[in-house]
Structure 1
Amino acid sequence: MSSNNNKLTVLLSPCNYVGPMMASIGMAEVLRDAGHRPVFAIKRDWIQKIQRLNFDFELMEEPESDSSAVVMDSADKNAADNEEMLANRTPMEQLISVFTTIVDDMIAQMEIEKPFLNNIIAKVKPNVILIDHILVNPTIYNSQVPYIMSYSSNPLNLDTCIEDKRLPPGALGLSVNGDNSNWEVYRQQAKDSRLDSWYRYRDWLLKYGCPVPDKYQLFYPSPYATIYMYPKELDYTDIRPLPDTFHSFDNFRRTGNEDVFEIPKQLSQRSGKLIYLSLGSLGSANVDLMKRLVAILAKSEHKFIVSKGVKHDKYELADNMWGERFIPQVKVLPIVDLFITHGGNNSFTECMSFGKPMIVLPLFFDQLDNAQRVEDKGYGIRLNPYECSEQQLLQAIDKILNDKQLIEKCNKTGKRIQNEKNNEKFVKLVENVSKLKK
């Protein structure tokens, strides 16, 4: 139960993407387990997911007029809306696409959602609002309710609000130990790419009486608390200490609502180590890439659980594999020997919390930074999913599975995360913020 014996109502308002939603679900589960009441402000495509987890919710759009209408699943919609991000382009090209497309889209969406969110806040009367967004939301800023800004991304990307020249620019997959001669050139190029969007963003904030972030800056931290999720063994705080109002947490691990996962007989009866492959909701929608990886892994002596994703019916798995459209990841990770992942922040931190080594096949944005950090800190191997050879991927698998030192290092980190009970600190933080007045 909650430490102060007072049940709080916490409104969670993540932007409408899989990563922020999954991170928010993890936080909501922690709060519910502590005796508080989480309520989600969501779009229609998340209804099924939130209902399965038995959370209260309010819609930020009109209900479907036709009750028999089929609402596209959230994962399907995210993959359909963001297919361009799956292209094999340079990190800078991907970064420019993210900022020029998503920033404008988020502003437009927040404008549409404004009356709904205002009504939700008035109806729910939250003690605290948790917002997972890369932009300032004027409705929440002006609500008079204390709010916590959550940033579900690699902390390098905090350079859009706190710049530090000791670190490389985010979302490019650069090593802190690498050649830094072009860092400022890349940083400025990224800034310039979002300048037109920033001016529109600035004017929009001014319209609603919000302070304007510094030039190029996307959000300003909450005056109450700003949080992010990242294992401290891989964080950058040894180079860039953060303000006292910033709080990091290793993982808000989702418990899931599935029964205990049992290894299918077709795999349990095979020899070899058990490996889990997942490229996330976006990556798994790239059928050509999934076919490429399946063809390579079919030649491995090991066995694989595969998260097939939204286009699960577009390709077949090999004999040494089993998979379905959705895999209960938090049930599977504890029983596997290795995780082959796209490096999305939720998957990445969940893997660390279970103490598993990983091969990261990053696709875009902060996945590139997570992959590089894993390699820099010796928790796994980074490979290019589009360009790595059959030999490189198969050898990387065997190298990790035979590296007892690496496996023990990962296991030690997982035990540390599970024993430190960071979630209790998160609950206490939310409770403390609820007592603050704007």
Structure 2
Amino acid sequence: MAPAKTIALFPEASYGAALNCVGIAQELRGLGHRPVFICHPGFSGVFAEYGFAEYQLTDTDAAPTDWNDFIERHQDAFRQAPLAQLDSYVGPTWEAIVDTAMRVEEPLRQLLGRLKPDAIVLDNVVMFPAIANAGVPWIRVVSCAETEIPDENVPPYLSGCGVDARAAWSNFAVRYEKTVAPAHKRFTGFLAECGLKAPASPNFLDPSPWLNLLLAPAIIRHERRQKLDPATFVFLDGCVRHEAPYTPPRFASHNEAPLVLTSFGSLGAMDVTMMKRMIGVFATLPYRFLVNAGHWREEYREVPDNVFIDSWFPQPSVVEQASLFIHHGGNNSFCEALYYGVPSLIMPYCWDGHDNAARAAETAVGQRLGRYDWSDADLAAAIEGLLGDEAMHVRLKSNAATMHKAAGATQAAEEIARVASDAVAAARASV
């Protein structure tokens, strides 16, 4: 057996990326390697809960970005279409991301010097110079929608455009590049100070020369004009973590009815008013509903008999038992739904949720519903329609079997371990 390798995983400050990396780390550990996590402030304990060593980054010059506060200050943008969100949300978000990369550069460099990993897994949308200059291979994980890697046949990143809406692609792409130009200019200067060349605008991260892992199951994958090199690009059919088993609670009614999970992520749950409006519709339907309320659980005083609300669920274990998943289009949630053969009702509010909502509808694995512009009848009809679509359920269950067989998390771990082992062998041969 080859010696164990130390693999440092560095996900962005979001639970989707963090938990996607947990799934990979679980498989790396199963292969006998030593995965460790580098985590942003606010994520302490997330990885330790799964039994992994974690190393907290501390900012040197200023307080870290509080993403809960950031989202709360930009909530009004979530009522806008993707094009309007460019100025109100996307631009400010890229500025905050660049700020984070600049602030953590020195502590990250020092931490990597102490850890001395054999490889670094970067699940992020921006390059950190300390990683590029660490002297070991780095692996890029694209746990957002596939649109993050551009192609002539793929709709623009964050646009929410479908493949048949090409007339809107160019306008969005031009506006997007103009919007992110100030952040990209700052980032270019920062990289130059660190001895690195910046990615071409509007990109903030180039592909890794060693390995790129894309979380894009075949059932929703785009047909690209320019095929990605299979030597350095690997598509994963799911990358689901192992979670504790979950037993649904006993409800006051409808205990034999289909189970529906509703979760809009750790940040989307803050819109309590909208969630209460949805719960009002749930109360009229003959199904069971689990609702993830995040930090706002105590805001819900009166709960219908067929609804159970909690601050957190072991999501994969719940999705496996659900008949429908209502979510925001986060790629992690979307892929979990596909992995377990469950249709998605996607109500996006930002970032790649728009892209996944469009893709769910055009590939017939779910439905897109505006987060705010729906009537009670619209929401009820969408839920009933997806639960009653037998053809969709059969197709999704068949696809789930294919995804389970593909074992995306295992494949990811094996590819990462291969890169790390090859690099160690090459280093020894050069001595």
| TM-score, normalising length: structure 1 | 0.90
Contact kept? 2:10, 2:37, Cα under 8 Å: yes
Q: Which moved more, 1:415-424 or 1:197-206?
A: 415-424
Deviations 1:331-355 (A, max 9, x none): 1111111111111111111111011
1:27 aligns with 2:18: no
1:199 aligns with 2:185: yes
Q: What aligned pairs does 1:78-227 form with structure 2 within 5 A after superposition? A: 78-87=67-76, 88-159=79-150, 164-178=151-165, 180-227=166-213
Deviations 1:203-262 (A, max 9, x none): 111111102222322211111112121211101145552233221112221112x3x211
AA aligned opposite 1:31:
L
Give the Cα–Cα distance (whole angstroms) in 2 for the partners of residues 108 and 138 of structure 1.
13
The change in CA–CA distance for 1:97 and 1:139 in structure 2 (over 3 A counts) is farther
1:229 aligns with 2:220: no
Structure 2 residue runs without a partner (length 5+)? none
The change in CA–CA distance for 1:267 and 1:21 in structure 2 (over 3 A counts) is farther
The change in CA–CA distance for 1:19 and 1:422 in structure 2 (over 3 A counts) is closer
Residue 20 of structure 1: CA displacement?
2.0
Give the Cα–Cα distance (whole angstroms) in 2 for the partners of residues 42 and 217 of structure 1.
23
Say which SS state the counterpart of residue 163 (structure 2) adopts: coil
Residue 61 of structure 1: CA displacement?
1.5
Give the Cα–Cα distance (whole angstroms) in 2 for the partners of residues 62 and 359 of structure 1.
38
Contact kept? 1:94, 1:365, Cα under 8 Å: no
The change in CA–CA distance for 1:210 and 1:98 in structure 2 (over 3 A counts) is farther
Match of 1:41 in 2: 38
| TM-score, normalising length: structure 2 | 0.91
Give the Cα–Cα distance (whole angstroms) in 2 for the partners of residues 28 and 98 of structure 1.
32
Q: What aligned pairs does 1:6-405 form with structure 2 within 5 A after superposition? A: 6-61=3-58, 78-87=67-76, 88-159=79-150, 164-178=151-165, 180-244=166-230, 245-256=232-243, 258=244, 260-266=245-251, 270-316=255-301, 317-405=303-391
Residue 375 of structure 1: CA displacement?
0.7
Give the Cα–Cα distance (whole angstroms) in 2 for the partners of residues 107 and 400 of structure 1.
40
The change in CA–CA distance for 1:203 and 1:44 in structure 2 (over 3 A counts) is closer
The change in CA–CA distance for 1:143 and 1:42 in structure 2 (over 3 A counts) is same
AA aligned opposite 2:75:
L
AA aligned opposite 1:124:
L
Runs of 4 or more, structure 1, over 6 Å off, are: none
The change in CA–CA distance for 1:268 and 1:327 in structure 2 (over 3 A counts) is farther
Give the Cα–Cα distance (whole angstroms) in 2 for the partners of residues 424 and 261 of structure 1.
23
Percent identity, please. Answer: 25
Residue 11 of structure 1: CA displacement?
0.5
Residue 108 of structure 1: CA displacement?
2.3
Contact kept? 1:279, 1:342, Cα under 8 Å: yes
Contact kept? 2:24, 2:410, Cα under 8 Å: no
The change in CA–CA distance for 1:192 and 1:62 in structure 2 (over 3 A counts) is closer
Deviations 1:91-138 (A, max 9, x none): 123234444223222222223222222222122111110011211111
Alignment counterpart, residue 416 of structure 1, candidates 381, 402, 405: 402
- Structural RMSD (CA): 2.1
The change in CA–CA distance for 1:182 and 1:421 in structure 2 (over 3 A counts) is closer
Give the Cα–Cα distance (whole angstroms) in 2 for the partners of residues 410 and 96 of structure 1.
37
Deviations 1:124-182 (A, max 9, x none): 111110011211111110111110011221111223xxxx333321212111023x223
AA aligned opposite 1:154:
A
**Residues paired across the two proteins, number:** 417
Give the Cα–Cα distance (whole angstroms) in 1 for the partners of residues 223 and 418 of structure 2.
24
Contact kept? 1:86, 1:364, Cα under 8 Å: no
Residue 200 of structure 1: CA displacement?
1.0
Residue 382 of structure 1: CA displacement?
0.8
Match of 1:67 in 2: none
The change in CA–CA distance for 1:387 and 1:99 in structure 2 (over 3 A counts) is closer
Structure 1 residue runs without a partner (length 5+)? 64-71
Contact kept? 2:98, 2:183, Cα under 8 Å: no
Contact kept? 1:85, 1:94, Cα under 8 Å: no
Q: Which moved more, 1:362-371 or 1:88-97?
A: 88-97
AA aligned opposite 1:103:
W
The change in CA–CA distance for 1:402 and 1:107 in structure 2 (over 3 A counts) is closer
Say which SS state the counterpart of residue 172 (structure 1) adopts: coil
Contact kept? 1:86, 1:363, Cα under 8 Å: no
Q: Which moved more, 1:268-277 or 1:337-346?
A: 268-277
The change in CA–CA distance for 1:98 and 1:138 in structure 2 (over 3 A counts) is farther
Contact kept? 1:30, 1:252, Cα under 8 Å: no
